[in-house]
Structure 1
């Protein structure tokens, strides 16, 4: 296992042959719009995939750079489909005022209320007949027409583009429904006027439906405004991360060319620059602390509530808050390569992704609008067949069109995913893909790597037991020399012990790592090996008198390695491996690891610890962590290459398995699990293989991640239920004449708002 110097340092992604582009899209209103944009983008040559997110108003396009011209082609395809291409982060930079974009809604309310109030008063019959409260027809026409054709112009544009592409969407339903109401009202008004001019004396003007078309458009606009306001709240986590970037840095030049302190934009910082950070300021970029000591608040990045002490040599993360000391750092990463930029990218990736459950919603949406149009025609024909007049039949058909808008259906899943990924990021949990978030709630077995995941991962050399006649100091020098080029935790423990004894060591030669076993190389002309007991057994080495010592150390929970010398043979005898010393290493459980495992057990989850240690050492540590080796909760002597096979074996019994690890050798197991969870203090390879990354190495976050998944999936199901129930219950009621177009419009707007509001409740999650 390899550890980097600082948590989060491995949040990068390897280059891929395919390119990815994010594009903002304006004008989408429902799930049908999503499908039309995806279809248009996938027709562009070279595009491998296009995923559109209605809640984020973005498209993520995966394409072959040599086959596609890129952004210009994609923008043209979006515009040709009838939508507005824009910057991918446009939603992030929208006006933050709670009342932004409310002006059209306010104008609609002002024009619609004079039409609606007389109708309500007529229903209440406050001292007069119903029609007596109605405004003159010409006044109704003047109030309703601007709402229909100016405020409602967006619906006509969307409907026209949908018709051109031979598809349907919410705009088409609203435009058809309200136009029918407005047109019927004009026809009744003009017919009554013609009758009056022809000499027919009517006691009262006919009932007109201008108020229905105007109020429906106003309600839909209100619903879209509330949706936009809720979208700004769901993306608050991303905006908060963007806000962590300071605008200026106190530049001091480089080590080779120091300068007087000068304020420059952080976009001009280069790797190697020296930067001063004053007390209370945000650190402008990732860097190595050169001078000064301080406390750093990394809570917005890792969720860790307490400031961490930093001394020279420590790594600092851009975006975190400096404490009481002025410090100087050397920049190690800038721009898109910083930890903060990668965190933002991971959260955006999760929020832009499409969960598997959304595929079913897309299939339903593809046929939803055509089915609604057929139902509206059947409603019209049915009422006419039953003997109703055209006026009544048309109003019931309009109600069907209005209530069936699939806005809530398209928002149900992405809004919950955005809110879930956002609240997870604030608690130090990065969710890389929507599939992991959706699947994690079904996990029933959690497998943990031991070293660095459940333990501190910084073992120390507790004993060096030399064989008879050997010089302990010379053996320590040989071991330190052989391990001097390795980043393995056990190697660092050997080097630290040698330094504490005041020893120096010569340069090794021909050093070779043997994965899962140890390393070998030449030190001053002698070939040495240091590695596991099993490796020494495979080499035919005899522990002799040290075997009892090895058994005793293992029983105490130590990890035992062997230092052996390769002794050349003489007279045709092959070289032999002679054991010279035992190296015993001890590690400590992470604080809170035992409590975290117990909390998972109380939730009914199965627990397994996978370790490359011998059974004695692995079982001793497991008992300290509260695990039960006798119940099969410990898998010991597992080579790195075999971890994935162990995970697959756990999955074989119809179990859903989460694997938690942090090292390079954990990556195959993380990929083999249903849900891979990487510790943020581990390596970039592990994080790339995992669907979820814990930004600090706290095992308690595993339970939190599973809980967020459970709550997010619950919200998705609730949202889909409400989205479907509005239509399942509302369409028949509208067809049967129970709902008027105005009530149908209010119900349709309420369905979208309720879905958004329900998803936003996830932001109240505080964890356990």
Structure 2
């Protein structure tokens, strides 16, 4: 069965990307004149994603990359080397209505003309009327397959497209126009359904490159600033990064203190304090203080650029199964044509009646036409895709249904996937006779004017308990230490032990509590008013609702849950224990996650990776199936993943695997049934025991039954009330 992929292979990255981006950034900087002291706004790097030079997702299965198919590209193969010439920054032109919907339109036209022809024939209209509609149905339903089949034939390949056209023409030659048009309609319908399922995928990873600003403020020897394209930066240059800006290049802090949200690169759930000597990454967000950063890597070798390269390399290595399918299809199609030719030619050598011999060969072509075989996989797979879509689960291709069924290991990112992705107050510990209300009010007062994630957590906790922070003024934040504000309560503050000492408080009374909370993987704030220490507040990124139940259901299904995270080991172990995950790998950068997926694949079997951020992209692409959390995920994770939980409900994962296993079993049921019917019909034809009417009836009947069997996947429902879900599948699958 032809799959309607329209996405070409990608050019090399990072070289091509940086060639193009260097050109457009230099143009941008030249247009601004490189003004001294003028910088990017806090939203730098946040503009609309740029177009990379060409599509970036290798989604054309081997053997499908042929010219002539509607909407397809001519030729095939991976692009090699950088783009021929840099191009200005622009979005790729959106395909028009016909390019996006031509298969659906042609399928509808095929059905309409088929029904009109049947009606004309049944109502006694002149033969020319029904013939007109049947010919129109042939043209609408057969043209895409004919173009693809002829293109394949020019490459000395016989495929199912060509075989379907030959079978339909054979039916027409026998005067069985209705049966031939029906064959083409079913074939066209399957292609249209597959095209619809594929069209939602693989837009680009261009948003990933736009995480980093296009320009940077380089410090001149005199202390002034000049705005330059990041490609012009050299190792040893010093740049200025203001609060609220993204860091444009990898480097080391030379001066200044701040907190940096680097979840997009490392997966850490809480912004990290940065000071002189600390490493920072391109694409991460500077939050509170200004920094001077010494460049340590060129723009072509930043962590972000390496992530892009890793994603591309992982995506290139994914088409082995499709090559096998195409080889089987080619053997089958060639065999059918050869058998039909022999059936038409050999009897003539023995003096057989030419008309009868040709008739038998044409019947053979009809009954051997692999409609039921062709629909065996698309019917259950696309029904499963539709079922999943109704429940907020997007499968970006039919083949991922079968891939999901083969998975043995489910690897999870922690932050934003197993957890909420935002810190929450978990403990409030009053000290020295203070009350819980006093502790929360002091902390909320100090944090009232702050935009730090920990401040939002404290303010949310206070609001949940009906505590109103006092009016605050003169708020002062010291990145990495804490925040203080003058108020009616006095000088309210919240921060680290060192910050408490600066305000005259003795943090020693809080040390036992802090040690206990730290062992639990929590971030601890001390809070007080003036020299009075009032208590401790612990903040932690808490497990996502339904995560524990989802992990338990997957384990019952025979799947092995594993946590892969860039967060600290002590934090990861605590969350894993809460969720029932026993295998944890922490402190991983994107390359480490990719290597972990590869190792798990070698030792335990096929891996499904579940993630939500840029740091997950290489692992998502390398895994047998990449699963992204939709609402929380970044664009690159969604583009890289094969399955998206659009509604962010992780508890739907067990249903995905259950549905995939059921659909895969149905595929094999259909294939065995369809091939058995073909063998019987072909055998009867070869011995002269089958008339065309019965052959068409058997052929069409097997096709309809295979379709109906596949459509049962629309009725599969999630398991409820702790049912095993995927465990209902008695056999563990693998590959």
Q: TM-score, normalised by structure 1?
A: 0.52
Find the partner of 1:175 among 169, 175, 178.
169
Q: 2:515 aligns with which of 548, 551, 556?
A: 551
Q: Distance in 1 between matches of 2:711 and 2:554?
A: 27
Partner SS for 2:709: helix
Output one character per residue of 1:81-137: Cα deviation in whole Å (capped at 9) or x when no partner: xxx96662672798799988512123345679xxxxxxxxxxxxxxxxxxxxxxxxx
- Extract unaligned runs of 5+ from structure 1: 1-9, 22-30, 51-62, 76-83, 113-141, 180-212, 240-353, 512-518, 534-541, 565-578
User: Would you say the 8 A contact 1:230–1:756 is kept in 2?
Assistant: no
2:179 equivalent among 214, 219, 222: 219
2:561 equivalent in structure 1: 607
**C-alpha offsets along residues 122-172 of structure 1, whole Å, 9 cap, x if unaligned?**
xxxxxxxxxxxxxxxxxxxx97x8877873576598699767975744233
Number of the residue aligned with 2:367 = 403
After superposition, the Cα gap between the structure-2 partners of 1:155 and 1:360, relative to the gap in structure 1 and judged at 3 Å, is farther
Offset at residue 380 of structure 1 (A): 2.8
Tell me if structure 1 keeps the 8 A contact 2:631–2:646.
yes
Change in Cα spacing, 1:171 to 1:19, as seen in structure 2 (3 Å) is same
Cα deviation, residue 609, structure 1: 3.8
Contact 2:186 2:371 in 1 (8 A): no
Using the TM superposition, give the Cα deviation of residue 427 of structure 1 relative to its aligned residue in structure 2, in angstroms.
0.7
Shift in Å, 1:615: 6.0
CA distance in 1, matches of 2:86, 2:365: 43
Q: Judging changes above 3 Å, is the alpha-carbon distance between structure 1 residues 550 and 753 closer, same or farther for their aligned structure 2 residues?
A: same
* Higher Rg: 1
Name the structure 1 match of 2:427. 462
Would the aligned equivalents of 2:118 and 2:178 in 1 still touch at CA under 8 Å? yes
**Aligned counterparts, 1:301-700, within 5 A:** 357-366=321-330, 369=333, 371-386=335-350, 388-456=352-420, 457-460=422-425, 462-463=427-428, 476=443, 480=447, 484-486=450-452, 488=453, 490-496=454-460, 500=467, 501-502=469-470, 504=472, 506=474, 511=479, 519=480, 547-554=511-518, 557=520, 559-561=522-524, 583-586=537-540, 589-610=543-564, 618-619=572-573, 621-625=575-579, 627=580, 632-635=582-585, 642-685=592-635, 686-700=637-651
Secondary structure in structure 2 of the residue aligned to 1:421: helix
Deviation at 1:766, TM superposition (A): 1.7
Displacement after TM superposition at 1:603 (Å): 1.0
Residue 377 of structure 1: CA displacement? 2.7
Instruction: Tell me the CA shift for residue 386 of structure 1.
Output: 4.7
Please give the alpha-carbon distance, in whole angstroms, between the structure 2 residues aligned to 1:403 and 1:224: 14
Is residue 197–residue 382 contact of structure 2 (8 Å, CA) maintained in 1? Answer: no
Alignment of 1:274-289 (within 5 A): none
Displacement after TM superposition at 1:459 (Å)? 1.3
Tell me the equivalent position of 1:713. Answer: 664
Per the TM alignment, residue 447 of structure 1 is displaced from its structure 2 partner at its CA by 2.9
Report the Cα offset of residue 559 of structure 1.
0.9
Q: Residues 42-61 of structure 1: matches in 2 within 5 Å?
A: 42-43=73-74
1:91 aligned to 2:74?
no
> SS of the counterpart of 1:42?
coil
Q: How far did 1:461 drift?
A: 5.4
Deviations 1:358-380 (A, max 9, x none): 54444444465554343223223
Are 2:151 and 1:151 aligned? no
Q: Describe the shift of the 1:14–1:498 C-alpha distance in structure 2 as closer, same or farther (beyond 3 A).
A: farther
CA deviation digits over 1:18-73, x for unaligned, max 9? Answer: 2599xxxxxxxxx99996634994337xx8799xxxxxxxxxxxx99989xx999x
Across the aligned residues of Structure 1 and Structure 2, the Cα RMSD in angstroms comes to 5.7
User: Does the C-alpha gap of structure 1 residues 234 and 375 become closer, same or farther in structure 2, counting only changes over 3 Å?
Assistant: closer
Distance (Å, rounded) in 1 between the aligned partners of 2:381 and 2:554: 24
Distance 1:721 1:107, change over 3 A: farther
Distance 2:324 2:644 in 1: 28
Q: Find the residue that maps to 1:459 and give its secondary structure.
A: strand
The question of whether the paired residues in 2 share the 8 Å contact of 1:659 and 1:677 is answered with: yes
Q: How does 1:743-762 map to 2 (within 5 A)?
A: 743-762=694-713
SS of residue in 1 equivalent to 2:470: coil
Secondary structure of 1:767's aligned partner: coil
1:394-425 residue CA offsets vs partner (Å, 9 max, x unmatched): 33222222222244444444444432221111
Cα 1:169–1:443, aligned 2, differ >3 Å: closer, same or farther?
closer
Question: What is the match of residue 68 of structure 2?
Answer: 37
Please say if residues 459 and 588 of structure 1, whose CA atoms lie closer than 8 Å, have aligned partners that are also in contact.
yes
Deviation readout 1:552-597 (Å, 9 max, x if unpaired): 2246x46134679xxxxxxxxxxxxxx9996522565444433322
Alignment CA distance shift 1:163-1:707 (3 Å): closer
Are 2:670 and 1:741 equivalent residues in the alignment? no
Deviation readout 1:199-258 (Å, 9 max, x if unpaired): xxxxxxxxxxxxxx23x322233444566788899999999xxxxxxxxxxxxxxxxxxx
Taking the TM superposition and a 5 Å limit, the aligned residue runs for 1:249-264 are none
Does the CA-based 8 Å contact 1:439-1:675 persist in structure 2? yes
1:17 is paired with a residue whose SS is coil
What is aligned with 1:17?
Answer: 53
Contact 1:235 1:422 in 2 (8 A): no
Q: Secondary structure at the match of 1:607?
A: strand
SS at 2:352's partner residue?
A: coil
1:765 aligns with one of 689, 713, 716 = 716
Q: CA deviation at 1:606?
A: 1.5
Per-residue deviation at 1:653? 0.9
Secondary structure, counterpart of 2:68 in structure 1: helix
Cα distance 1:679–1:163, how it changes in 2: closer, same or farther (>3 A)?
closer
Distance 1:399 1:588 in 2: 66
Q: Is the 8 A contact 1:480 1:505 kept in 2?
A: no
Indicate conservation of the 8 Å contact 2:168/2:181, yes or no. no
Superposition deviation, residue 475 in structure 1: 9.2
Tell me if structure 1 keeps the 8 A contact 2:344–2:361. Answer: yes
Q: Distance in 2 between matches of 1:111 and 1:367?
A: 43
Q: CA 1:762–1:740 in 2, change beyond 3 Å: closer, same or farther?
A: same
Distance 2:64 2:414 in 1: 48
For the Cα contact (< 8 Å) 2:336–2:368, is it kept in 1?
yes
CA distance in 2, matches of 1:722, 1:651: 33
**Structure 1 residue 479, shift from structure 2 partner:** 7.6
Go from structure 1 to structure 2 and tell me whether the alpha carbon gap of 1:472 and 1:422 turns closer, same or farther (over 3 Å shift): closer
2:115 alignment counterpart = 102
Give, in whole Å, the separation in 2 of the partners of 1:228 and 1:647: 38
What are structure 2's unaligned runs of at least 5 residues?
A: 1-45, 200-317, 433-437, 486-492, 499-505, 528-532, 720-735
**Could you tell me how far apart the structure 2 residues matched to 1:532 and 1:674 are?**
46
Say how many residue pairs are matched.
508
